[in-house]
Structure 1
């Protein structure tokens, strides 16, 4: 029987050789590589499971069609040198059900991990694992006797060569995240088990470990039962996900393309494995994975180069693993174009962009805005009052009434502590002014009424004595977010007797909506707008808020149509920007928004232009160590990466399925990761003329941006975002210091990390619609770089600051100015000075003997 089979095999191989079947080996290898590239290029977490299910539905049909064609043509497609492994009596048996289920489960596990986590960092380790496994399955696959070490022979060695390539590939793919590495081992182990069971053992070991049930599987012979099991498992997973998060959003075309490509990849890979081993499948998979990595999205030039190098090494190993009969294997070397063309195109695009950038820095809007802002800031500092009578007169001039009792002592305290700011406290006086329309007793009554309203999120605090002590209470909460501790820390430094009550907003979002003069009432109305569209109610009083409306001034800097922020106050005025209604989470779907409508003085950390919260410094800036700056964790400018960094959570709004794309954090990450096909605007100079041009060029290497956590979303919306965005491991709060540019934007309210970034040696890029207590002393283009809500100017802004000599110089200057100013004007004593003046105003406001004032505050 054995002699007959050997004779038939020899005849089969002779016939195959006479028909140039060796080209079919090369063909199978090339097709497996190309379809693997197609799969990796178009792969998305959204379509992973559905396309995998389609693949295993189609795969048995492909095997059946090819088998029928073989029978009709009377030809053999491959040399099948491994067929002998399946010719003994045990291997010809029907594969055991347990073997098929194990393979199916491993394939399903791998697909689920790709769909849920997208973790591929350890995938290259699959090849050396299989190489070691094949040592016991196919001893002849090892280095022959007389093996001599050289680089070429090293790559030929199945174990050492795959280990070298795997190390380089993992370096190219890695982010330092031990948890992710541990998780990414699961699909690697699963595929190792599956490929091992698909690999025939030697004829002397037909069954694994001598077991009765674990038998090698010929994927072609077992295509139908194996595919059925894989499909069942994937269908169960999809059904479970549909039950938990709703029916998945399926892109039919995407699923069809990916599913078809996976089918052909599995088919040609199986044919290649029959002539080599399943080791070649792992090496080919590594090539496909690395060759399709976008060079523009690599963090550094070195990372991009390592990625290309590792992909080329993988391709070389595929060639070495092909059998000697594959004479046309060198034709596969043309596939080097797959990683090399994008890489060199990337280099050429960057070079062209740099060479076509503005050569006259003085004409660039960034340069002009910085020059103008610095001149204005110098004037602001020169004009600060230097005597008490001057400060008193300036107060009257600005606000139309006298300062509160204790103002002279406050002025002396301010001067004694060398505050660079004396007069710029409009945020306090303008915030207090609307409440002066009611008497001091009415203020106390309305505060009490608001606190006794149901469904509020207000703390009632009392400060008294000298040094003053503060106690806060809430109907249903015990943790006051360090507010009492913050006030005690501040008031112990104030040399004045304080006796007052005030309300504190517990939530991140602001709360107070002040009605027009003719509509105000002493009875507050509290409504819960959490999770609801809030734009209409937040802009309801725009027509009557003349006092807070920012007059639009003619721009003094030519921006060539790009929305560089030329007037911060106007840019943050909601009444002038109806387009903001859909592009910020606070307006589209706030996570928790308790609106207090009425003349209720409430202290909050921040508020947009249309709201009436009285602003005070966030406790996060003073009390929370995670937001504190420690210089020993910073690095010098020259040692920082020349890019912009941000990582954070999907806070800032409650995400619902299909409605989260327009939220401000999601828009920023989508832009920085270049996930949406679009054109970008840049400024270019030709024949001495500067113009705005549209281009598809986007140097993702300048952006190290990702979400580290997905939350504040419905279950399905959370899943959609995890599938859409590339994620990062949660990093230390000091990680931004390794980049020259650090981005900061609103969350549900203010960003607590802002001061840490200002104090660092990096340059903050700030996007916000929320006013804070420091707005008058922190100037855009002097201490930080502002970014518009649309972010349309961001690609040009980042390119200028990182990729031109003039821009890099200005970036460093602004970073140093902001750092120095933070040291001068954001000391803890500066916070005390602000709070001292605020508490004096609040005591006057709630003085029971104070009558209502007839003042026009708009």
Structure 2
């Protein structure tokens, strides 16, 4: 339930700021003329269940009570027309609190300024301080203070008349039952109360206005301004009435005090102490307001996304993924005999030569994962049907590993720089002299993947062709082998249910309509997601895409689900630019509570048309920098309805800029008008420290032309300094069966629709921050 206290505070302060003495009475008349209609329009039908308890909770407003309320409002309005503010208004808070005992359920757990501000003595001290500050700030004289005492007495009688003190010893449950309907305030329908009071307030204001105009010859201001101020006042009263429904009429006085204290111009004060004192008075009244709200409302005042539920969908997804990952670890073989038997059981063949040496190597280095070779098996299975001669015939440029010396040598017809491939294999294999046989293999030196297998069932037949499809749409090529019509779902699902990890355990979690990734493997399946055609740069306009069409074993660092590249760890993970330096990291407590990403516009080639706006990196920057307009500007959050049911809700408000630090650092890979349009559209920064991401609690990782080289660095952070990686990718990598989504990283969908809610929860709630820290801490534990 979103609290109306926030809008009440905002509208009250705005009305106080806009109001002036010459429009005070007329604007108040406008306010009460339209307030009943506003209450009727905003009343939510069907919220009361029609039970006898609810019906008994409401009561008609007595004529005497509404008359007392009208006199108080009219007197206060007249006084404001003379003095601008009712400087003794804060004393109403302790006076009303002395006659109202809040039900336990209506006492917030807010720690803002502590509970002492709503005790009899605490509220009295706050009132004394606030009255002194307001009187000095307003320059109110003794005679005016005497009149103000009478005005406050009339207001007290009016507020008391429409209040229902909880002095009958009712329980918290009874109090909550009386508060079930959003349009009931203190046992009275807001609509009925607004109408009853308006019928008495308007005549009183008409008399007061006539006296000022025709007897005292006081001028009236612009009617247009009076209407505008009156509308804001009406909204303030409406939200204040609804807020009183959640606590008591005492909250009306704290909201009014906040409006007066917070709108004092600090530069018009006689001293810095006076300016600071006004700020202090506004903070005290704000603390009182927060403390008198129900627990759920007190938390949700500050954010649109807050949930009134104990278990956020992300928490459910993470717990399911942890359970799945732990179960996978528990299944691993504990000795070599078991590992060999498990390999034969899974893959229907004996392990390759050197398997015993590999097992010893993995155990010596403490690898918790022993039996997971599904990705390797799926990649090499098509070539097991081919002869060695046939495979060699398909290979042209190659790297070679010599088992006798344990060294790797790469050669290429014209390329001299091997992109650290030799160095990477040296680090990965370590000292294995004489253990492994000599072998030659192809390594893809491009960022983008290379191999499309024409027919997985008959890969030994057919010629091998190479086609340059760079800088043009390739979606139809990528998906040409997808099953047609309804076969896609069944085929894809069968490949997603094998043992292992990948975030499939949360597939049954209710995400309440938010597109959280519940199955990381299925989320990357191009055959399941035709909408990806216009959402990723690789499909729309790859910078370089030299397609090898045929049965050729090529090692690549990443590939989409439909391609046949054999995956291996990216050499970029070991390069200096992407290496983790623990000395540059900072403790969690010192990290910014925000999401960070900075990088260049790699990922695709931008031409003269506007297609680049839909590239994956460009969509991320546009979202974070609030550049979308109209319907695309809407962000989705989770909230609960009146029945406590969680619902997805749209908001057109901009994202909280303090939680998002996303920017481009270079504009590259473009031509023509696209090169000039991109710097104009995005906020850019000239340079970003390569370790800047480590200073934020949430770090985003997104594909470039191929896989992101920085992901290994984001996972590698150790000790208590870890940041939590959020990863959006369309590419499979070698570690997909060793790293679990929601355990070692937070997966993000291609559409980014859940990202505002995800960032809000991970940064703005205790449970979310704890989950982010837990994910960050698990990143370096994913498979050793």
Name the TM-score, length of structure 2 as normaliser: 0.57
Q: Are the counterparts in 2 of residues 511 and 596 from structure 1 also a CA contact under 8 Å?
A: yes
Please say if 1:383 is aligned against 2:331. yes
Offset at 1:411?
1.7
Q: Are the counterparts in 2 of residues 469 and 491 from structure 1 also a CA contact under 8 Å?
A: no
Q: Are the counterparts in 2 of residues 605 and 616 from structure 1 also a CA contact under 8 Å?
A: yes
2:748 & 2:587 partners in 1: Cα distance? 24
Offset at 1:444?
1.1
1:428 & 1:702 partners in 2: Cα distance? 39
Please say if 1:696 is aligned against 2:646. no
Please say if 1:574 is aligned against 2:526. yes
Aligned residue for 2:416, secondary structure, equals coil
Please say if 1:472 is aligned against 2:410. yes
Q: Relative to structure 1, is the Cα distance of residues 519 and 465 closer, same or farther in structure 2, using a 3 angstrom cutoff?
A: closer
Offset at 1:401?
2.0
Write the deviation string for residues 462-507 of structure 1: whole angstroms up to 9, x where unpaired: 1113232222111111111111222234344225142111111010
Aligned to 1:817: 778
* Equivalences for residues 483-494 of structure 1 within 5 A: 483-494=421-432
Aligned to 2:282: none
Residue 637 of structure 2, aligned match among 674, 682, 687: 682
Q: Relative to structure 1, is the Cα distance of residues 490 and 758 closer, same or farther in structure 2, using a 3 angstrom cutoff?
A: closer
Residue 579 of structure 2, aligned match among 628, 642, 646: 628
Please say if 1:354 is aligned against 2:303. yes
Mean alpha-carbon deviation: is it higher for 376-385 or for 522-531?
522-531
Aligned length, in residue pairs? 469
1:365 & 1:383 partners in 2: Cα distance? 27
Q: Are the counterparts in 2 of residues 572 and 609 from structure 1 also a CA contact under 8 Å?
A: yes
Name the TM-score, length of structure 1 as normaliser: 0.53
Write the deviation string for residues 515-541 of structure 1: whole angstroms up to 9, x where unpaired: 113475353100001101011001111
Q: Are the counterparts in 1 of residues 399 and 411 from structure 2 also a CA contact under 8 Å?
A: yes
Please say if 1:706 is aligned against 2:654. no
Please say if 1:507 is aligned against 2:456. no
Offset at 1:547?
8.1
Residue 321 of structure 2, aligned match among 373, 388, 391: 373
1:486 & 1:802 partners in 2: Cα distance? 37
Residue 700 of structure 2, aligned match among 720, 727, 743: 743
* Equivalences for residues 68-217 of structure 1 within 5 A: none
Please say if 1:539 is aligned against 2:539. no
Aligned to 2:754: 793
1:705 & 1:695 partners in 2: Cα distance? 21
Offset at 1:785?
0.4
1:726 & 1:691 partners in 2: Cα distance? 33
2:417 & 2:459 partners in 1: Cα distance? 36
Aligned to 1:645: 596
Q: Relative to structure 1, is the Cα distance of residues 486 and 355 closer, same or farther in structure 2, using a 3 angstrom cutoff?
A: closer
Offset at 1:729?
2.4
Aligned to 1:673: 625
Aligned to 2:360: 412
1:762 & 1:518 partners in 2: Cα distance? 46
Write the deviation string for residues 651-693 of structure 1: whole angstroms up to 9, x where unpaired: 0000122111111000010001110122111110233211111
1:467 & 1:665 partners in 2: Cα distance? 43
Q: Are the counterparts in 2 of residues 744 and 754 from structure 1 also a CA contact under 8 Å?
A: yes
* Equivalences for residues 301-320 of structure 1 within 5 A: none
Give the unaligned 5+ runs of structure 2: 1-261, 269-296, 498-503
Aligned to 2:154: none
* Equivalences for residues 385-534 of structure 1 within 5 A: 385-447=333-395, 451=396, 459-495=397-433, 496-516=435-455, 517-518=457-458, 521=461, 523-534=463-474
Write the deviation string for residues 178-211 of structure 1: whole angstroms up to 9, x where unpaired: xxxxxxxxxxxxxxxxxxxxxxxxxxxxxxxxxx
Aligned to 2:272: none
Q: Relative to structure 1, is the Cα distance of residues 520 and 539 closer, same or farther in structure 2, using a 3 angstrom cutoff?
A: farther
Offset at 1:356?
5.9
Offset at 1:806?
1.2
Offset at 1:445?
1.4
Q: Are the counterparts in 1 of residues 453 and 564 from structure 2 also a CA contact under 8 Å?
A: yes
Q: Relative to structure 1, is the Cα distance of residues 765 and 508 closer, same or farther in structure 2, using a 3 angstrom cutoff?
A: same
Aligned to 1:836: none
Residue 611 of structure 1, aligned match among 548, 551, 563: 563
Offset at 1:431?
0.8
Offset at 1:804?
1.2
Offset at 1:556?
1.3
Q: Are the counterparts in 2 of residues 557 and 566 from structure 1 also a CA contact under 8 Å?
A: yes
Offset at 1:707?
0.5
Q: Are the counterparts in 1 of residues 300 and 306 from structure 2 also a CA contact under 8 Å?
A: no
Q: Relative to structure 1, is the Cα distance of residues 436 and 462 closer, same or farther in structure 2, using a 3 angstrom cutoff?
A: same
1:559 & 1:550 partners in 2: Cα distance? 23
Q: Are the counterparts in 2 of residues 467 and 497 from structure 1 also a CA contact under 8 Å?
A: no
Q: Are the counterparts in 2 of residues 468 and 498 from structure 1 also a CA contact under 8 Å?
A: no
Aligned to 2:676: 719
Offset at 1:802?
0.5
Aligned residue for 1:563, secondary structure, equals coil
Aligned to 1:299: none
Offset at 1:637?
0.8
2:302 & 2:539 partners in 1: Cα distance? 37
Write the deviation string for residues 93-123 of structure 1: whole angstroms up to 9, x where unpaired: xxxxxxxxxxxxxxxxxxxxxxxxxxxxxxx
1:812 & 1:414 partners in 2: Cα distance? 28
Offset at 1:394?
1.6
Q: Relative to structure 1, is the Cα distance of residues 695 and 464 closer, same or farther in structure 2, using a 3 angstrom cutoff?
A: same
Offset at 1:399?
1.9
2:336 & 2:599 partners in 1: Cα distance? 46
Offset at 1:550?
3.6
Q: Relative to structure 1, is the Cα distance of residues 547 and 395 closer, same or farther in structure 2, using a 3 angstrom cutoff?
A: farther
* Equivalences for residues 818-857 of structure 1 within 5 A: 818-819=779-780, 821=781, 825-826=783-784
2:326 & 2:647 partners in 1: Cα distance? 31
Residue 762 of structure 1, aligned match among 719, 723, 727: 723
Write the deviation string for residues 118-147 of structure 1: whole angstroms up to 9, x where unpaired: xxxxxxxxxxxxxxxxxxxxxxxxxxxxxx
1:521 & 1:446 partners in 2: Cα distance? 12
